[in-house]
């Protein structure tokens, strides 16, 4: 995938992620899109960081002591982990938010 296509996918993905938190109480989970990365802050200061990685055309997610590297799958039209464990980006973030804040967030 070329740089322009990657950037377009990342921009759209991060916009959708950020919009998913519009109706969430910011005291429970607050998203901030800044300098190309999306950070979700939970009570107690725990953070989930979603960042683009242009050199390898991936999106990386870091939460607590875990990290996921996700590649774009054009057939499934989504970001999936590179270890073949089946983690899809939106479902992964939904699970993290549920675990960290007990909140159901809808990401489409």
The 3-state DSSP class for residue 59 equals: strand
Q: How many domains does the chain have?
A: 1
On the question of pLDDT at 108 being above 80, the answer is no
What tokens appear for 93 in the block? 């973030």
CATH number for the domain that contains residue 45: 3.30.920.10
Dist. CA 32–CA 74, nearest whole Å: 27
Domain assignment present for residue 104? The answer is no
Find the mean pLDDT for residues 25-48. 94
Domain assignment present for residue 106? The answer is no
Query: What is the band of 77 on the pLDDT scale with cuts at 50, 70, 90?
Result: very high
Helix (H) or strand (E) holding 8: helix 3-19
On the question of pLDDT at 91 being above 90, the answer is yes
Query: What is the band of 40 on the pLDDT scale with cuts at 50, 70, 90?
Result: very high
Residue range(s) defining the domain that contains residue 22:
3-99
pLDDT value at residue 84: 82
| Helix, strand counts (H, E) of the chain | 2, 6
Domain assignment present for residue 44? The answer is yes
């Amino acid at each position: 995938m070329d740089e322009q296509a990657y950037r377009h996918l990342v921009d759209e993905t991060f916009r959708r992620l950020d919009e998913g938190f519009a109706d969430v109480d910011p005291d429970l989970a607050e998203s901030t899109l800044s300098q190309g990365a999306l950070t979700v802050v939970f009570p107690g200061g725990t953070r989930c960081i979603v960042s683009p990685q242009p050199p390898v055309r991936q999106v990386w997610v870091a939460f607590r002591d875990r990290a996921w590297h996700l590649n774009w799958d054009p057939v499934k039209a989504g970001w999936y982990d590179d270890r073949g464990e089946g983690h899809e980006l939106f479902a992964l973030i939904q699970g993290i938010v549920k675990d960290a804040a007990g909140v159901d967030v809808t990401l489409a």
